[in-house]
Structure 1
């Protein structure tokens, strides 16, 4: 009994000591005392990485730890095209969580008031390419660690910083890839690179629903995933952004700095100095794991449309990480077997080094950001009533100016509308389709980058495109450094006035130059309303005098078999209001100049049913851009058919066959004859870039092509050393340069394109022979084609005055041949009308 009492007494004294220590250290006051936060392994029921995660599992886990742990809250940045929710974990101390609204308000002060305040903001973003999935897994591991750790450095970090963790930036692509890889993973792991687990089907998980590379969309914002990300960036205005990727399995591990000579000149030198300082932390972390790595090679810091470079032009430090990819569980490489689990661990290690490095450099990151925005805030700008800036116009296309202002607003770039028509340098800038953008503003650096024009470069090697000037993408009339009084400008656009007309109207007319005219047209065709287009220009007397109408003008006759005039009027009014398209009513069919409304030169537009050739061999990106334009922009029911299924398709069921860039050499001669018959019987083939090689080889294109073999003989390699061969190869590449076309404005393919010049993005070594029959040429490269970016002088002289757009008649149909992709990444809004012309106008001419 005495022994039991002594034991009980000892236990009592130990417990008293424990509780006294707990009281002394205020253990019960700790926000994590008694908190149980489920780990990824517990949540999944198996070790993290044993199977590839789906996006819903990632989201469910984030929601679970946010529910369980007071350090964690969530940001919702919208949904993907396939309606998958995009979540970001916000992890910080409990005290910081209680005042997030105050912190967010402080973050806006750095940009708009020039004041730095609040905690450090660190954003770690993963797996923007859906098949680069190790980052998403490491993000869950990191989230759990930050939520539960009581390590001194973690507590210090969470007190002084807010960490944003976005595990999956491409939900649709990630699910496409994880379903593929999990579906082909065996019980016995297969490391053979030839195994289907490592050989994705078409399209790969890299891209999103419309096959777009979302890591090229930070500037252009064509997709909801990108719009949500950029909104998050400007909401938090981070100091540091980590951008986690995977690369080929035969590499090791990369972290920035990239190639020094290939950093964009607008990026401040201080940015690269801090990137180099942060690199020391990544180096130490990977050395500790005995993981080999490299820096200052292969990757650059040039194009601001990527996740690691967009921060650089917005006052933050962006850092790219690239891990060798297993593209499944494990894969043989020249360096040994690449294991998925090891890839997760490497991404986790550099995530930790990012946090430790940013915390150690906190004051330097804050000072750098303050210097970046110094003197650029709005208060300083508005002290002067007269400002210099960009004056630009979309030339009779108010819809395109709305698209531009929407883009600028998302990037928080300030702009103004005109209150009166202006003339500058012989160019008219009207109220409906013009804006003024002041140079001096919070986002002046990004503004400069978006309208950057340069043709000289230290290193002609580019990981992506060499230029992206929005002046050319939107085909704008632009005047730089115009000085205007702010009193003649407005922050709100002129209101759209819904069109009205009297009962004596005989027809309705729509200016084809308006970008939304094609969208409205398609809606009318869907409803069975007959619409015609003018093959030539004309004038009609209106209430306010004579009105001029350009070629391509749409006519909607109010007398039709299937609808009464009042029914047509109601439908057009509703659509005009929805799409903000101006409609002019006329009470006469008689023209004062040019063709009358009843002329045979008003061509009836036939309903269209397009087919896009897709599948292995075709360019995933360019097929996606065609699909996006037809489906998402125009609202056309669009059929996608894989190359290997074309032989079983009845082509006469379709009006158009579209072929994007790609390799079509596996198509049979039988299908070539079938496609030729399709065109002869009235179908239209629209083909671009690499597809033209197959058309030419199959005798479906009469015009002689010039491919890379022709152009590369223009380059002289005599006397070059082995060391110089990489520079020589870079010179021969066309990574992406903006060139100018001169259009035949009388050709229907040019209708609505505003004048005789058209800037396009050229990123493939391909062109047409200069001996092409003149009547089939709708557009030539200008005599001095280069507008912006890098294009070797050998290419410039060879492309000069040569054809770029060819339309060849085929009995009742036609072949539309494009040397370039006029839709480039769906941001080339100034040129996309050419596709609408090919869809709606070309069939009516044969």
Structure 2
């Protein structure tokens, strides 16, 4: 009994200590602060850690600091989807500020010239906070770090700022941070309750982790598809920081993690010295955390493999990425295996690590500057051996996909050229205006290798994220390595998208091929305007041009527009969608004539997307983004909580992303399908559709037996069977409507699950089928690879008057998997023909 009372008393003392929120709890001792610099509380109206900082107050404080301190300048680099500013503070000494551009130019010169002396240069550190909005201790610690750097008067800080340029990003995810702060603050009680069952710690769907479209932005550093990413990547390449920190949170029962991660899970293109320096930097973190008595660990989890994460992206760009993971209070206070965990405690650890990073940068400045200088020197030596060699990529029928990959190269400061003229390589034709060439002999040759490589052998079989991201495969483009730079034309200095046109005015009909990426956007605009359009089920030719499966026919007669108005309207559509539309004067062709029944009438899509509890928000957000940002198509989001009350007859297509709604909605949804609707299900939703008898799917069962595996090794054995994300080859039947718009007989599919469907006994019902040896890039265990071979990722079956369509794989992965977006669009526009 006495022991229980003692433990309770100690817990109360610990709780009281951790809930202290004035600056003395956080800031270093024996440091004086400039009283003319505003404290966080004086601007935001509460102590740091008392409430979760909202993004508007965070911005307000950063602007106040920049106004008051000659150590800080601030810039707004753009806005999020919700209109919030993307701020970057530059923090350094007043002397450095007066010469900042010269410092930047000298720093960049050290990455471009062999003879530059780096010993007297400032080191550049990019500090980024809370890219996951519901991991808020980072952005709340940013309040303290910015104040300390602006106001501290100690010699250590003054010397630090003389030797360091700090690029300070207080919120990598403004929209998510705001969403989570609202949740935590509105559910806070006056009497803080650490019970993890309290509503404060149970966010509603989709939570604050993601941005507006529910993307995990810490996977977008390499693809750069989101506005937040574009801002920070522009800042990164403008400066090429030596160190980049990425402040995160993890499970409540953990402690504090800092890199390096598991050594065997580092990407082979990352130099070994990078990890050695990372470990040396870790000694500074350990010393600082020891001083305040915080537990931590390193090298036991996480990895440095996928270059699309903030802590790994710098490693292929001459810098050192550092991941911090703090056990999360997920609110203001919560029980944990390590005692009561308070929000202020989590903030203090993040703040401490932010300062120890800067101490490491100062203490290791010369070594780290030399490392970056040598990284690019060695890269140039590697590139010189590739002189005269290049990579060509493109699609002779789809300029838009080609453009969007080139757009990523431009954002990543990779040089590329137009083609001098059309040419063929490895049996693929590359057409000027529809392809680009990347010379291998250039500064960022290692980054090029990381983006274009196909890797199928690995030191480790466990991955924190995807194991493959080969960009031309993701975009569904033809590409060839080792071509001669003699094929290169003008270097592209300013990338521009192909302008769409209508060949001429017609009084008969217009034809639009389906190959271009934005064809669905154009067709939707045509149908939405009330015009009639048809799709060609077979190939034909006219006026010396061949038209493929899926060609769209727009008759001139019997429309709601006059021939002149129709022509002008189609001109606007072609321009807006970057496509070519051909005018024809006769219905007589070689093949099916334009009046043939093989041209099928199309219906305006009326699409709904099921979202909410039980649905994977990432997958749902990718689809929402695709419709809203790429194709300008209206999409109704139906929440699972209210689905049973919705009049589903308003929609002809409903998409069910990975996940499963409550079984109570199955009856109404099934009736809607039977009445003529098309239900499209993805990934784990197929299990729900199968069990609720929407569609009968034949899944392979894979049984694994561990042999000679110890108890200690059991986790690795199971983890090795996970398909975390790899790329696989499938054959396609181009005559099937789900494959309209694809010109090749093969397609590259992204897969990160172990659902394997056996093919239908009728071959024509298997329009997409994995090859016998399907692995193109990435890791998969041999048992899984054997199970995947010759299975199908797509099925479509009738249910009453409607249809259920099943995709085992994500066709819209992370917004950069352009190559398979059209599979979904085909299932929507050509649903009656599937």
- Give the distance between the partners of 1:679 and 1:433, measured in 2 at CA: 41
- Give the distance between the partners of 2:501 and 2:726, measured in 1 at CA: 41
- Give the distance between the partners of 1:652 and 1:234, measured in 2 at CA: 50
Select which of 634, 651, 655 maps to 1:637: 634
Q: CA deviation at 1:376?
A: 4.7
1:67 aligns with 2:56: no
- Give the distance between the partners of 1:673 and 1:141, measured in 2 at CA: 54
Select which of 529, 535, 538 maps to 1:536: 538
Equivalent residues in 2 for 1:380-529 (5 A)? 387-485=388-486, 488-491=489-492, 496=498, 499-529=501-531
Q: Which residue of 2 aligns with 1:25?
A: none
Indicate conservation of the 8 Å contact 1:683/1:812, yes or no: yes
Q: CA deviation at 1:663?
A: 3.2
Select which of 358, 370, 373 maps to 1:370: 373
1:774 aligns with 2:776: no
Indicate conservation of the 8 Å contact 2:680/2:805, yes or no: yes
TM-score norm. by structure 2 comes to 0.93
SS at match of 2:818: coil
Q: CA deviation at 1:505?
A: 4.6
Instruction: Go from structure 1 to structure 2 and tell me whether the alpha carbon gap of 1:441 and 1:329 turns closer, same or farther (over 3 Å shift).
Output: same
Q: CA deviation at 1:674?
A: 2.4
Instruction: Go from structure 1 to structure 2 and tell me whether the alpha carbon gap of 1:512 and 1:486 turns closer, same or farther (over 3 Å shift).
Output: closer
Indicate conservation of the 8 Å contact 1:170/1:208, yes or no: yes
Q: CA deviation at 1:635?
A: 1.1
Indicate conservation of the 8 Å contact 2:798/2:804, yes or no: yes
- Give the distance between the partners of 2:800 and 2:592, measured in 1 at CA: 26
Q: CA deviation at 1:309?
A: 0.4
1:83 aligns with 2:86: no
SS at match of 2:135: coil
Indicate conservation of the 8 Å contact 1:127/1:170, yes or no: yes
Which string of whole-angstrom CA distances, capped at 9 and with x for unpartnered residues, describes residues 427-481 of structure 1?
Answer: 2111122111111211111111111211111211111111111121012222111
Indicate the structure (1 or 2) with the bigger Cα radius of gyration.
1
Select which of 590, 601, 609 maps to 2:606: 609
Q: CA deviation at 1:113?
A: 4.4
Q: CA deviation at 1:110?
A: 3.4
Select which of 196, 205, 209 maps to 2:208: 205
Equivalent residues in 2 for 1:17-416 (5 A)? 36-113=36-113, 115=116, 118-374=121-377, 376=379, 387-416=388-417
Which string of whole-angstrom CA distances, capped at 9 and with x for unpartnered residues, describes residues 673-728 of structure 1?
Answer: 3222222222111101111111111111122234xxx22x1x22133211221221
- Give the distance between the partners of 1:553 and 1:377, measured in 2 at CA: 47
SS at match of 2:88: strand
- Gap regions ≥5 residues in structure 2: 1-31
Select which of 751, 754, 757 maps to 2:746: 757
Give RMSD over aligned pairs: 2.0
Q: CA deviation at 1:498?
A: 5.4
SS at match of 1:563: coil
Q: CA deviation at 1:509?
A: 1.6
- Give the distance between the partners of 2:692 and 2:497, measured in 1 at CA: 53
- Give the distance between the partners of 1:627 and 1:112, measured in 2 at CA: 42
SS at match of 1:194: coil
Aligned residues: 799
Q: CA deviation at 1:494?
A: 9.2
Q: Which residue of 2 aligns with 1:5?
A: none
Q: Which residue of 2 aligns with 1:19?
A: none
Q: Which residue of 1 aligns with 2:9?
A: none
Q: Which residue of 1 aligns with 2:695?
A: 701
1:827 aligns with 2:819: no
- Give the distance between the partners of 2:731 and 2:802, measured in 1 at CA: 25
Indicate conservation of the 8 Å contact 2:44/2:60, yes or no: no
Which string of whole-angstrom CA distances, capped at 9 and with x for unpartnered residues, describes residues 25-81 of structure 1?
Answer: xxxxxxx99871101011122211100011111111111111111111012221111
- Give the distance between the partners of 1:365 and 1:355, measured in 2 at CA: 12
Indicate conservation of the 8 Å contact 2:74/2:90, yes or no: yes
1:659 aligns with 2:656: yes
Which string of whole-angstrom CA distances, capped at 9 and with x for unpartnered residues, describes residues 620-661 of structure 1?
Answer: 100111111112111111111121211111111101110111
- Give the distance between the partners of 1:468 and 1:656, measured in 2 at CA: 31
SS at match of 1:644: coil
SS at match of 1:686: strand
Select which of 665, 683, 687 maps to 1:689: 683
- Give the distance between the partners of 2:169 and 2:488, measured in 1 at CA: 43
Instruction: Go from structure 1 to structure 2 and tell me whether the alpha carbon gap of 1:76 and 1:116 turns closer, same or farther (over 3 Å shift).
Output: farther
SS at match of 2:485: strand
Indicate conservation of the 8 Å contact 1:431/1:494, yes or no: no
Q: Which residue of 1 aligns with 2:591?
A: 594
Equivalent residues in 2 for 1:791-810 (5 A)? 791-810=780-799
Indicate conservation of the 8 Å contact 1:772/1:803, yes or no: no
TM-score norm. by structure 1 comes to 0.92
Q: Which residue of 1 aligns with 2:669?
A: 675
Instruction: Go from structure 1 to structure 2 and tell me whether the alpha carbon gap of 1:540 and 1:375 turns closer, same or farther (over 3 Å shift).
Output: same
Which string of whole-angstrom CA distances, capped at 9 and with x for unpartnered residues, describes residues 730-775 of structure 1?
Answer: 1211111111121121110000122221111111111213455434
Indicate conservation of the 8 Å contact 2:521/2:633, yes or no: no
Q: Which residue of 1 aligns with 2:716?
A: 727
Which string of whole-angstrom CA distances, capped at 9 and with x for unpartnered residues, describes residues 569-621 of structure 1?
Answer: 11111222233212221111111x22111222212221111111111111010
Indicate conservation of the 8 Å contact 1:418/1:431, yes or no: yes
Instruction: Go from structure 1 to structure 2 and tell me whether the alpha carbon gap of 1:135 and 1:720 turns closer, same or farther (over 3 Å shift).
Output: same
Q: CA deviation at 1:495?
A: 8.4
- Give the distance between the partners of 2:412 and 2:195, measured in 1 at CA: 45
Which string of whole-angstrom CA distances, capped at 9 and with x for unpartnered residues, describes residues 762-820 of structure 1?
Answer: 11111213455434322111111111111111111111111211111234321110111
Indicate conservation of the 8 Å contact 1:255/1:321, yes or no: yes
Q: CA deviation at 1:524?
A: 2.2
Which string of whole-angstrom CA distances, capped at 9 and with x for unpartnered residues, describes residues 293-351 of structure 1?
Answer: 10001111111101100011111111000000000111101111111101111111111
SS at match of 1:733: coil
- Give the distance between the partners of 2:709 and 2:276, measured in 1 at CA: 34
Indicate conservation of the 8 Å contact 1:465/1:736, yes or no: yes
Instruction: Go from structure 1 to structure 2 and tell me whether the alpha carbon gap of 1:766 and 1:39 turns closer, same or farther (over 3 Å shift).
Output: same
Which string of whole-angstrom CA distances, capped at 9 and with x for unpartnered residues, describes residues 201-235 of structure 1?
Answer: 00010011110000011111121011111111111
Q: Which moved more, 1:345-354 or 1:471-480?
A: 471-480
Equivalent residues in 2 for 1:780-795 (5 A)? 780-795=769-784
- Give the distance between the partners of 1:623 and 1:260, measured in 2 at CA: 34
Instruction: Go from structure 1 to structure 2 and tell me whether the alpha carbon gap of 1:725 and 1:756 turns closer, same or farther (over 3 Å shift).
Output: same
Which string of whole-angstrom CA distances, capped at 9 and with x for unpartnered residues, describes residues 146-174 of structure 1?
Answer: 11112111111111111111111101111
Indicate conservation of the 8 Å contact 2:497/2:578, yes or no: no
- Give the distance between the partners of 2:100 and 2:339, measured in 1 at CA: 46
